[in-house]
Structure 1
Amino acid sequence: MLENTRHTETLIVGGGIIGCAIAYELAKSGRQTLVIEKHTLGSQSTRAGAGMLGAQVEMHAPGPMYDLGVQSRALFPALREELIELSGIDMELQTPGIFRVAVDESDRLDLLERQRWQTEHGQRAIWFEDEDLRRELGDLVSTGHGALYLPDDHQVRNPQFLLALAASAKRLGTQYLEHTAMTGFLLERGSVVGVKTLDGDIRADQVVLATGAWTGLLANQLELDLPIYPVKGQSFLLDAYGPPTPFTIYTHGCYILPKRNGQIYVGATEEQAGFDRRPVLRSLASLSSRAVELMPSLGGLPFAEPLAGLRPGSADGLPFLGKVEGLGGLFVASGHFRNGVLLSAITGKVMAELMNGQELSVDLTPFAVERKIRIS
C-alpha cells in the first residue's frame, strides 16, 4: 500500500562494514541514503572479524586484489581523522605492524619470495632471522625459521570502526533501519526500483546489495548467478589487561592481535558449514592449541568469549564491485572474504564515485559483477 512505502535516493541493503562504508562516502557527497539491516549493524562477519589491515600479509601474489588492498590501506589514517572529527569515535588504528612467522623451511622460502616481489612493488617487507626476532620479541613467540616483518600492515577494532562510520554517516544525514529484512525486489521495466520488507516497500533510484554471505541467495531472486558463498570463521577473545606485545603475530592457521581495550583477538578458522554460524568446540580447541604453540604465554590468560561469523567467499577470490549490467538501478559490493575491513575504505570510495557518475579511482574491470554472472 502507498502509505507503507518509503522513498530514498539510495538504498543500501546490509549494515555491515561494507554497507556502512558506502553509506558514509555517499553521505559525504550529499546523497540521500537509507541503510537497512536484518539484524543489528555489524552483527554478522563484521562483529567476528579481526580488524586486520593485511594488504601484504594476506596476499600471496601481485595482482588486482593486492593493488586494491594497498590502495585501501593507505586511506585509513586520513579516514580515522575524518571519523573522529565527525563522531568523536576512534577506530583504534594500531600501527606497530605484523610479524608473519614461518612454520617450516617451505614457508620460509615462500615468505622470502613474498618479500622479494612486495619490495619490488614499493612496499616495505623486512626479513628477521630467529636471533633478530628474539631481540625484538624475546621468547614471546616460538620460532625456528624466521619471520617477515610488515611495518605498514596495521589493524583496527571492528566494533569501534563500524560505530565511527555509522555515527558519522548519520550526522551527515544517512538513515538506518535495523531489524528490517529484505524479502524481495521491486522491479519495473527491467530495472530494480526498490525492495520489499515486512514493514512495507522501500523505493529507491539506486539499490546496493552489500549483504555479505547472503548476497548470492538474494541475487537468485533476480535469476542472477552470483557465486558468493558463506565461509565460516571462528575465533575468540582473551582478557589480557596488558597485551604482551604491540605487534600482530601471524602464521599458518592462526593470528594474534592485541587490542587497545586490553583484550587479545585469536583467529581464525575457515570452514564450509553453510549458514550455520554457531561456534564449535573442536574448531576452537584446535585454534587454541595453535595459538598457545605460537605464543605460550596465552595459555594462562582468561577466556573472554568465542566469536563466529560467515565471510562472503567468491569463486575466484575477488570481490564483486559495480553495477549489474542488464538491470537498471542495481549495484553489488560483496564477496570480500577475509578482507572486508581492509577493503572497506576503498570500496566505499569507489562505489560512491560510481554511483555519483564520477571518475573512478580504481579500475573495476577485475571486480566486475558480470565476470562470473549470467542473466538466465
Structure 2
Amino acid sequence: MNGGTRTNVLETDVLIVGGGVIGASIAYELAEAGVQTLLIDKDNLGSQSTRAGAGMLGAQVEMMNPGPMFELGVASRALFSNLREKLLEISGLDMELQTPGIFRVAVDEEDRQELLARQIWQREAGQRAEWYEDEDLRNILGDNIVGTTYGALYIPDDHQVRNNALLLALVASAKALGAKFLEHTAMTSFLTENGAVVGVQTQDGVIRANRVVLATGAWTGLLGQGLGLDIPVFPVKGQSFLLDSYAPPTPYTIFTHGCYILPKRNGQVYVGATEEASGFDTRPNLGSLAKLSTQAVHLMPSLASLPFAEPIAGLRPGSRDGLPVLGDVPGVPGLYLATGHFRNGVLLSAITGKVMRELLTGTETSVDLKPFALMR
C-alpha cells in the first residue's frame, strides 16, 4: 500500500527498512514468529537488485573457495524446498523453483583446472559435483545448444527461482501473518535516544520501533553515515537482458565467466550479468549489453534467433570482503544490519530471514554470525 500523507507517529516492535527479498524474508520470518513487524521501502517493493537479479540458488556454482560464505549458501539453499511449500500453503503463490541443476562451463584450460579443483573440495564438503567432458555435455544439451567447451562441472543441487515470484510469495505470506508494508516511504534519518536507535524519520512522518533492521542493499553505506558508521557496503551495477521464447532451448542453467543463461518457467530466457562500478546510476547502456550478448551467443548459439524482450539494470550491494553484513551494530543499541549480499541475495534470503528472526527473538542462531559481523 502507499505511504500517503501521515501526521501521526507510527509504532512497531521491529521496523525493516528495505523491501527486496532480504527485507521481505525477514518480515515473513518475524511475522511467523508473532513479532509485530512493519517494512518500508522508498520505491516499489523489489524495485532494485531483486527486480534485476537472475534468481540463481548458486550455493556451489558461485563459490570459488570453501569457507563461511560457501557454508552459508549451502545452508540457505537447503531451506528453499520447505519454504516454497510453506509460502504456497499460506499465500497460494509459487516462487517457481526449478531444479534441473546448473552446468558451470569451462572456457579455457585454466578455467577447466580451476573447476576440477573445485569439484574436489566441494565433494569433500559433502556436496554433489559431476564432471562432463565436452562430448558428454553435447550429448545432454545438443550440438546446437552449447558452443565449444573445455568441459563442464554439473551441480545438480543448485537451482533457481523467479525473483519476483519469490518476493510476491514472501510479502503475501507475511501480510497474511500480520506484517505491514509501506511502499514509497523513504527513510530520511534515524531517531535516536541516549545513543540507541528508536525509529526513523520518513518524508511522511515518524516511525518509532524497538528494533530497526537495515536491509537497504546498496544504499546501506550511505544511510549508516547518518550515525557516523562505516558500513562497508557499496553499489555494483549489474546489467542483463531478457529474451522471449515459447520453449527455452534447455531446462538447465548454463554458467561461465561473466555470463549465465537461465530459462524461466514463463518462457523467457534471462541472460546476465555485468559487474560495474558506476555509483548509483541504474541506466542500461549499449556497450555492456552488446558485450554480454556476444558472450551469450558464443556460449549458446541458439540464442541468436530469439527476440529481445527488455534490458535490465540494478545495483547489487557489494562489500569489501565479499561477505554479507548480518547482525547487530556494536555501540548502537536497537540497530541491526542485513545487507551486502552482492550477487547472492536471492540464494541467501532464506537463511538471512531465519537468522535475523532468531537474533531478534533471542534464539541461538542457526549459523555462526561472527564471520558476517560488522566489526569482523
TM-score normalized by the length of structure 2: 0.98
Q: Where does residue 200 of structure 1 map in the other structure?
A: 205
Contact kept, 8 Å, 1:4 with 1:199, in 2: the verdict is no
- Offset at 1:369? 1.3
Q: Where does residue 78 of structure 1 map in the other structure?
A: 82
Please show how residues 1-376 of structure 1 align to structure 2 within 5 Å. Answer: 4-139=8-143, 140-371=145-376
- Offset at 1:3? 5.0
Distance (Å, rounded) in 2 between the aligned partners of 1:4 and 1:276: 35
SS of 1:221's equivalent in the other structure is helix
- Offset at 1:182? 0.2
Distance (Å, rounded) in 1 between the aligned partners of 2:7 and 2:344: 41
- Offset at 1:280? 0.5
Q: Where does residue 3 of structure 2 map in the other structure?
A: none
Contact kept, 8 Å, 2:191 with 2:201, in 1: the verdict is yes
Distance (Å, rounded) in 2 between the aligned partners of 1:210 and 1:105: 40
1:106-164: per-residue Cα shift (whole Å, max 9, x none)?
Answer: 00000000000000000000000111111111111012310000000000000000000
TM-score normalized by the length of structure 1: 0.98
SS of 2:375's equivalent in the other structure is helix
Flag as ranges the 4+ runs of structure 1 deviating above 6 A: none
Indicate the larger mover: 246-255 or 3-12. 3-12
Q: Please give the root-mean-square deviation of Cα atoms over the aligned residues, in Å.
A: 0.8
1:253-305: per-residue Cα shift (whole Å, max 9, x none)?
Answer: 10000000000000000000000010011000000000000001100100001
How many residues were matched structurally? 370
- Offset at 1:4? 2.2
Distance (Å, rounded) in 1 between the aligned partners of 2:53 and 2:294: 20
Distance (Å, rounded) in 1 between the aligned partners of 2:24 and 2:363: 20
Distance (Å, rounded) in 2 between the aligned partners of 1:144 and 1:160: 33
Q: Where does residue 374 of structure 1 map in the other structure?
A: none
Which consecutive residues of structure 1, in runs of 5 or more, have no partner in the other structure? 372-376
Contact kept, 8 Å, 2:240 with 2:273, in 1: the verdict is yes
SS of 2:274's equivalent in the other structure is coil
Identity of aligned residues (%): 72
Contact kept, 8 Å, 2:244 with 2:307, in 1: the verdict is yes
Contact kept, 8 Å, 2:7 with 2:204, in 1: the verdict is no
Contact kept, 8 Å, 1:213 with 1:311, in 2: the verdict is yes
Distance (Å, rounded) in 2 between the aligned partners of 1:208 and 1:221: 15
Distance (Å, rounded) in 1 between the aligned partners of 2:300 and 2:136: 17
Contact kept, 8 Å, 2:213 with 2:337, in 1: the verdict is yes
